[in-house]
Amino acid sequence: MICNSLDQVRENIDRIHTTPMGADRILKNLKLTDTDPVAFCKAQILSPNCRIYKDGKNFYCEINGIKITVNSFSYTIITAHKM
């Protein structure tokens, strides 16, 4: 299922977004400044080293000690945090 999840997320990369609260949460959790949190997360997801899998209603994208949670129906980034 990892390959299917990987393909599904990357094929829908343009649909990935977050809410204003989600953006604030991502910036805080990852200690990012002057960064577009959605663009940052998309770049991580598109990296060939990103491990993507689905568990329940969410996709999980893990790379460089970061875990990004994306809703599999709406493609909303729920959160991102350091592992």
pLDDT at 7: 81
Per the structure, the complete domain to which residue 9 belongs is given by: 2-82
pLDDT at 56: 92
pLDDT at 24: 95
pLDDT at 82: 95
* Number of domains observed in the structure of the chain: 1
Contacts of 44 (CB under 8 A, 6+ apart): 50, 61, 63, 64, 66, 68
As a whole number of angstroms, the distance between CA 81 and CA 83 comes to: 6
Interval 19-44: pLDDT, tens? 999 999 999 999 999 899 999 999 99
**Residue 12 CB neighbours (<10 A):** 13
Interval 46-75: pLDDT, tens? 999 999 999 999 999 999 999 999 999 999
